[in-house]
Structure 1
Amino acid sequence: MPFKVLRQDGKGVIYRLAGDDVAALGVALRQVAEAHLAELRQALEQMAVDPAKRSVIGREELLEQARRGEVIFIDVRPPAECEFAHLPFPRSLPLAEIEHRLSELLRDKDIVAYCRGPFRLLSDEAVALLQAIGYRVRKIRDGVSEWQAAGMPVIAAGIAA
């Protein structure tokens, strides 16, 4: 089974990936689909934020910038998803709460938004909203699975993965 039960949450069940190989498999399947399906590539290009608003810095450098406090990672997914697994040094700032929590963001810091991955638009919406009011913000295409599949550190349910 590629998933392990993490905990019951009411009638729902919270799962986690059984291992890094499962994350890598999911990412590999998406990459193969992107490479071979022109319609998928076109849809992604139309959905995605302006390429100039995406981070072009590599994962390792971005992580180091976050470690040094030079950038602020914002995870714009719902809180339960962020609790379950997230990139290192994030600030959980769900898209629905951003406008009410602007005081938590420093205008003199670069902000890097992320969400569930390349097919998701939460981070695109966050970038558009924050740029419209004067923040320096960009997004990364990666979600937690892409980050994990690349061998980068992920914090999962309170433990480093």
Structure 2
Amino acid sequence: MNERVLMSRDGPKQRIFAQLAEIAAALGHPHRLEILELIAQGERCVEDLAAVTGLSLANASRHLQVLRRARLAEPRRDGKRMLYSLVSETDVIALLASLGRVGERNVAEIGRVMDAYFRARDAMEPVARTALLERLREGHTTLLDVRPADEFALGHLPGAVNIPLDRLDTILAGLPPDHAVIAYCRGPYCILSFEAVARLRSCGVEAYRLEDGYPEWRAAGLPVEG
């Protein structure tokens, strides 16, 4: 009996579960989830990640080491800089998307935040990727990337125009009157596209947001530029 219990504790299933638990633990911090969202846009150095997240360089490095041990992120040396990117990008993005769906379905506080912030700014159905492709083929659509310029340079949807949120007012006069605007940003919980759509609509522009962001588009195997 004891031998069977020992085999069960040290069996292949338990060893696999132990490694999966390490991945789950790596996901168990909001700063690390934010870092994963950022490096999903493209390779980022530690200094940039620290600046964007508001973390100290030491804290950002510690979080990256946890993600590295869990095989969620990997470094590449570029001169004196260490650049990080996702490991198995498509799988990690799918994992984060699944985590979000479970949270939205099962955690009441997430639902309250979605209602109070996101849906309050845009209660309309977002534009699906397939629908966006069709709209772009037909024309009469302006595709707006509202991420910072450095993230746009790392990669973006074909034909997108990069106008960060703080410069949005500068393009209003130049928008073709017969064009709808579709905005996208870093992902489903990035506030930038919600804010952009709300601001454009307040100025009388027909505006929508993409259902998710650049990483999900790329992970779906759709074309990108940059």
TM-score using structure 2 length: 0.58
CA 1:44–1:103 in 2, change beyond 3 Å: closer, same or farther? Answer: same
CA 1:102–1:155 in 2, change beyond 3 Å: closer, same or farther? Answer: same
Q: CA deviation at 1:23?
A: 1.4
* Aligned-partner Cα distance in 2 for 1:46–1:95: 21
Other-structure match for 2:202? 132
Identity %: 32
Unaligned stretches of 5+ in structure 2? 1-70
Q: CA deviation at 1:101?
A: 2.9
**How do 1:96-111 and structure 2 match up within 5 A?**
96-111=166-181
Q: Secondary structure at the match of 2:212?
A: coil
Cα RMSD of the aligned pairs, angstroms, is 2.7
CA 1:72–1:4 in 2, change beyond 3 Å: closer, same or farther? Answer: farther
- Tell me which amino acid in the other structure corresponds to 2:153: E
* Aligned-partner Cα distance in 2 for 1:15–1:51: 33
> Does the CA contact (< 8 Å) of 1:4 and 1:18 recur in 2?
no
- Tell me which amino acid in the other structure corresponds to 2:172: L
Other-structure match for 2:29? none
> Does the CA contact (< 8 Å) of 2:143 and 2:159 recur in 1?
yes
Other-structure match for 2:108? 38
Unaligned stretches of 5+ in structure 1? none
The one-character-per-residue Cα deviations of 1:42-74 (angstroms, maximum 9, x if unpaired) are: 21121112313x43x432122121133232110
> Does the CA contact (< 8 Å) of 1:34 and 1:41 recur in 2?
yes
CA 1:141–1:46 in 2, change beyond 3 Å: closer, same or farther? Answer: farther
Q: Secondary structure at the match of 1:141?
A: strand
> Does the CA contact (< 8 Å) of 2:197 and 2:208 recur in 1?
yes
- Tell me which amino acid in the other structure corresponds to 1:50: D
Match of 2:123 among 51, 54, 64: 51
* Aligned-partner Cα distance in 1 for 2:79–2:195: 28
CA 1:4–1:128 in 2, change beyond 3 Å: closer, same or farther? Answer: same
* Aligned-partner Cα distance in 2 for 1:28–1:122: 22
Other-structure match for 1:153? 222
Other-structure match for 1:26? 96
* Aligned-partner Cα distance in 2 for 1:6–1:134: 46
* Aligned-partner Cα distance in 1 for 2:136–2:221: 13
* Aligned-partner Cα distance in 1 for 2:81–2:174: 33
* Aligned-partner Cα distance in 1 for 2:139–2:75: 34
CA 1:67–1:17 in 2, change beyond 3 Å: closer, same or farther? Answer: farther
- Tell me which amino acid in the other structure corresponds to 2:171: R
Match of 2:162 among 92, 101, 106: 92
> Does the CA contact (< 8 Å) of 1:107 and 1:136 recur in 2?
no
Other-structure match for 2:60? none
Between structure 1 and structure 2, the one with the greater Rg is 2
Q: Secondary structure at the match of 1:87?
A: coil
- Tell me which amino acid in the other structure corresponds to 1:87: L
